[in-house]
Amino acid sequence: AQCTDERVNQVTPALFEAYPTPASMASAPLDDLERLVQPTGFFRQKARNILAAAQRIVDAYEGEVPDTVAELTTLPGAARKTANVVVSACFPENAEGIAVDTHVQRIARRLGWTRSWEPPKVEQDLLRLVDRSEWNHLTHLLIDHGRAVCRAPRPLCDECPESIAGECPSRDRLPRPARRGR
């Protein structure tokens, strides 16, 4: 991933304290946005996208954050994954898919749910397998599991719940972490 959620969560309180509305963010000085998002990496491009997205929200959506994937993906810097995350978190009744990040993609491949490396194809494969009512839950479950247990490149298979491990065709084929103290 380009930037972890943890890093984003570190900078957003100050960002939204300084600019709590799309209108205030749309008129923010670019250098101030750059300073606020600098810890996330690629901060100049992110600041430009934040400014342009806020301006588009003000101009095209009367200052209201769009509530569909189609509308959100018209915002600069917002691709389908970001749009799915926003919709699932803020407008779950409008969920249109599963946010496929590196963790979701890796686990779906390891479990044999997809063969693809392409996020749109991974998403389509998962949508065929999972009931719509579970899309949001599955996204968060796989992301959390990918961070804590099913890591790349060395997953902690011995810590995997049996309900998952028993179904994992990759379990015995993946490199294990080196044991400490030996």
* C-beta separation of 126 from 88 below 8 A: no
pLDDT digits (tens, 9 = 90+) for 106-145: 999 999 999 999 999 999 999 999 999 999 899 989 999 9
Based on C-alpha coordinates, what's the Rg of the chain? 19
Is 5 assigned a catalytic role? Answer: no
Looking at the predicted structure, is the pLDDT value of residue 101 above 60?
A: yes
User: For 49-95, how does the pLDDT look when each residue is reduced to its tens digit (9 = 90+)?
Assistant: 999 999 999 999 999 999 999 999 999 999 999 999 899 889 989 99
Q: Report the percent of the chain where pLDDT is more than 90.
A: 77
Closest by Cα among 49, 52, 30, 39 to 12: 39
Respond yes or no: is residue 144 known to be catalytic.
no
Q: Would you say residue 181 has pLDDT above 60?
A: no
* Report field, pTM of the whole predicted structure over 0.75: yes
Q: What is the mean pLDDT of the chain?
A: 92
Q: Determine which one of 5, 31, 101, 172 is catalytic.
A: 101
Helix H or strand E encompassing 25: helix 22-26
Query: Is 72 in contact with 78 (CB distance < 8 Å)?
Result: yes
- Look-up of token digits 């028993």: 166
Closest by Cα among 133, 141, 132, 134 to 161: 141
Domains and CATH numbers, the chain: 8-94 (1.10.340.30), 102-165 (1.10.1670.10)
- Identify the active-site residue in 81, 121, 131, 158: 81
Q: Which residues are within 8 A (CB) of 90 and not within 5 positions of it... i.e. 6 or more apart?
A: 65, 67
